[in-house]
A and B are shown apart, each in its own frame.
Chain A
Amino acid sequence: MIRRPRLDDHLVIGLYTGKIVVVVGLLMAVPLALSLVLAEWDTALDFVISMSASLAFGFGLQILCRTDKDPGWSHGLVIASGSWIIASVLGGLPHWLSGHIGSYVDAVFDAMSGYTTTGLFLIQDLDHISYGLNMWRFMLTYAGGQGIIVVALTFLFKGTAGAYKLYVGEGKEERLLPNVIQTARAIWLVSLAYLVLGSVVFIGLGLALGQTTLRSVLFGTWFFMSGWSTGGFAPISYNTFYFHSLAYEIAAIVVFTAGSFNFALHWAVWTGNRREIVRNVETVSFAVTLTATVALATFWLGRIGLYSNTMSLFRKAFYQIVSGHTTTGFGTLYARSFVTQWGTLGMLATIVAMTIGASAASTAGGIKGIRIGVISKSFFQEIRRLISPESSVNVEKLHHVRDIVLGDKMVRAAMAVTIAYVSMYALMSVVGAAFGYPLVEAIFEGVSVTANVGLSCGVTAPTMPGSYKGLFIVAMWLGRLEYMSVFALAGYAYAMVRGR
């Protein structure tokens, strides 16, 4: 029998969702302030309206849903998944009010793409949008990279009761420190330290390349925010291709690859365990699969003679593949070049890299290195068991901050999420083909959106069918939250209707 949720359940979900929506509203203060400083009055008004709507909604929910009850596990999952949807609907307001977007669905698409660090966009005339709106796009992706719940835990929540349940609901389970609020603050410490260093490097490179001071400061900060969060947004339509600079590309690779590492790995390395970087199952898995996919792309592109020298080949092949593997989506190619120049095998290498994705408990998407590590280890364990005497006991371990014995429960959990990702990749590919796109392009875009990558071969455009855009929004949301909390929300809705 399914238990119908009671009033208490609705109240606790409403209360905590309201708190998180308030945080989303407060984030709008940053682009509002920038608009005021730069005298972008129309944009400032857009943010006043959007911020007022978000705060009114958030505080309204909190007033309506007063309760002393703490959230349980199922509440945490429903709050996390529901908050991301509401945050995207409200986060799309500034886009919609700007007049640079075709419809409200497009606005929600861009907001969801930002929060989930996907990086695909439908905003039009990107090169001429206001600095304030651009700042909002990068706030979305930077906050979404750490996690909206992490933002709320860091800056708003005082107590710890129920906090861990919300944190897990957002697809993170790692505790860097014993206390979950301290863990959220440690995540922000890592991100903000990189923000300072990375932005300085990008700003310096921008100045050296001839940008004005204002543009180099804003572009440098934005490229850092987008790279670190593996978002892939850029303030110009040419993305990182705009700079034609090896130094800028190398800096971007360091930033977005570091952003794709597990926060637990960062914390281990930052607190003295530096050998962890070469021992951790996720970095080992990443190094192996990155090398394999880069080799495939490089040898294919070398064979067809697309690039005239080693450095050109390296800059194009390595950059796109590592960008896809870390689920960033920065590119130094025109979108259609994947189809017209790289060809099927080049696209296949990129698709495989995007499918795998980067590390768990990071800003990245995809199946994740830890699951690839767990499944590979279990595969080899099974082979060893088959060739060993019946009486022998095979114990397989993997290293993630500490040695962990591989157990059935761990393998089952890894397999379940992997199957969910692969099913979603397949569904998105079939639907894309059904809409009339060539199969390889439908697969490329379907994997890119579900793994929250953001590389595009040209399918994503304001002219794509509305229902296809809607499916992209759902795929980004499912991919970022790793399915379970979204399934919990669906289960909650079902229980409301059919429960007793």
Chain B
Amino acid sequence: MANTPERVPRLTAREHWGQYLAGIVTEAAFILGLAGVGLLLAAVAMAVFK
């Protein structure tokens, strides 16, 4: 066993897919959060200049 090289999974290996998907969801949530801030600013601006 000592001479067996550690197996390096391919970048596209199925075992990575869950983590990749979680990464996409994290990024999308961050971007939608920024859009939420934009919506809040619009609501404040409309209220201020009504």
A residues near B31, Cβ cutoff 8 Å: 253-254, 257-258
With A269-B26, A290-B34: A182-B41 Cβ-Cβ less than 8 Å:
no
- How does the 8 Å CB contact mask read for B2-20 relative to A, with 1 for contact and 0 for none? 0000000001100000011
**Chain B residue total in the interface (Cβ 8 A):** 25
Which of these, B11, B23, B43, contacts A186 with CB under 8 Å?
B11
Cβ-neighbour of B27 out of A277, A294, A318 (below 8 A): A277
| Contact (Cβ within 8 A) B45 A301 | yes
Nearest chain-B residue to A304 (Cβ)? Answer: B49
16 cross-chain CB contacts under 8 A: A189-B11, A253-B35, A254-B31, A257-B31, A274-B26, A277-B26, A290-B34, A294-B37, A298-B41, A299-B41, A301-B45, A302-B42, A302-B46, A305-B49, A314-B43, A317-B42
Per the 8 Å Cβ criterion, residues 214-258 of A in contact with B are 250, 253-254, 257-258
CA distance A236 to B8 in the complex (A): 45
A302 with B23: CB separation less than 8 A? no
C-alpha gap A321/B24 in the complex (Å)? 23
- Report A-chain residues with C-beta under 8 Å of the C-beta of B20: 193, 270
Q: Are B28 and A287 within 8 A (Cβ)?
A: no
User: In the bound complex, do residue B37 and residue A291 qualify as a contact, i.e. CB atoms below 8 Å apart?
Assistant: yes
| Residues of chain B within 8 A of A287, CB atoms compared | 34
A308 closest partner in B (C-beta): B46
* Contact assessment for A193 and B38 in the assembled complex, using a CB-CB cutoff below 8 Å: no
In the complex with contacts A270-B19, A313-B42, A314-B38, A283-B12 CB distance below 8 A: no
User: A270 contacts B41, CB within 8 Å?
Assistant: no
B12: min CB distance to chain A, Å: 7
Which single residue of chain B is at the shortest CB-CB distance from A294? Answer: B38
Q: Known interface pairs A186-B11, A258-B28. Does A274 touch B38 (Cβ–Cβ under 8 Å)?
A: no
Is the CB–CB distance between B11 and A270 below 8 Å? no
B28-A254 in contact (CB<8A):
yes
State whether B19 touches A272 (Cβ < 8 A).
Answer: yes
Of B19, B26, B28, B48, the contact of A302 (CB 8 Å cutoff): B48
Contacts of A185 in B (CB 8 A): 11
Which residues in A have their C-beta under 8 angstroms from that of B48? 299, 302
A51 close to chain B: CB less than 8 A: no
Q: Does A303 contact B (CB under 8 A)?
A: yes
Give the docked Cα–Cα distance between A258 and B32 (Å).
Answer: 11
Residue among B11, B19, B42 with max Cβ neighbours from chain A (10 Å) = B42
Task: Report chain B residues within 8 Å CB of A295.
Answer: 41
Asked if A334 is at the interface of the complex by the 8 Å CB criterion, the answer is no
Contacts of A250 in B (CB 8 A): 32, 35
A245 to chain B, nearest CB (A): 15
Q: How far is the CB of A193 from chain B (nearest CB, A)?
A: 6
- Which residues in A have their C-beta under 8 angstroms from that of B45? 298-299, 301-303, 313
Bound CA span A270–B48, Å:
41
A309 touches B46 (CB 8 A): yes
Are B11 and A182 in contact, with the CB atoms below 8 A?
A: yes
Q: Is B1 an interface residue (CB 8 A)?
A: no
How far apart are A401's CB and chain B's nearest CB, in angstroms? 14
| A270 CA / B18 CA spacing, docked (Å) | 9
